Amino acid sequence: QQQVKQSPQSLIVQKGGIPIINCAYENTAFDYFPWYQQFPGKGPALLIAIRPDVSEKKEGRFTISFNKSAKQFSLHIMDSQPGDSATYFCPYNQGGKLIFGQGTELSVKP
């Protein structure tokens, strides 16, 4: 059973746009929500993480916002750049295992 559903599967924006990637979760017991970024030919890398008692966290141009009532958290990328083109994942922890969902492939056009 998939416990986190990510959308959209793919996203194309123009440079300077604000892509938004959403993750809806099933399990209210999750207490840590990491986002990973993966460039082609590279391994995933932690981008930003949030705890559910924090409604928003910003690191540079990347912001996670958390809506507990909607059971959803979202990644916003401000002033997106072609170098942000990558696949973004919101994996969840299940019994010591980090489980990756399908991810969102983001393409930022110049």
Partner 1 sequence: DTEVTQTPKHLVMGMTNKKSLKCEQHMGHRAMYWYKQKAKKPPELMFVYSYEKLSINESVPSRFSPECPNSSLLNLHLHALQPEDSALYLCASSQPGTGKSPLHFGNGTRLTVT
Does residue 44 touch partner 1 according to CB under 8 A? yes
Which residue is associated with the tokens 């295992």? Answer: 97
Q: Does 52 bind partner 1 (CB under 8 A)?
A: no
Provide Rg for the chain, Cα atoms.
Answer: 13
Residue length of the chain: 110
Say which residues have a Cβ less than 8 Å from residue 81's Cβ, sequence separation at least 6. 15, 108
Residue 43 or 83 with smaller CB distance to partner 1: 43
Q: How far is the CB of 77 from partner 1 (least distance, A)?
A: 19
Q: Are strands 10-14 and 104-109 parallel, antiparallel or unpaired?
A: parallel
The binder of partner 1 chosen from 7, 13, 34, 72 (CB under 8 A): 34
CB 89 to partner 1: min, Å:
6
Distance CA 15, CA 39 (A): 17
User: Measured from the CB of residue 80, what is the shortest distance to partner 1 in angstroms?
Assistant: 21
Query: Which residues contribute to the site for partner 1 (CB under 8 A)?
Result: 31-32, 34, 41-46, 49, 89, 93, 96-103, 105
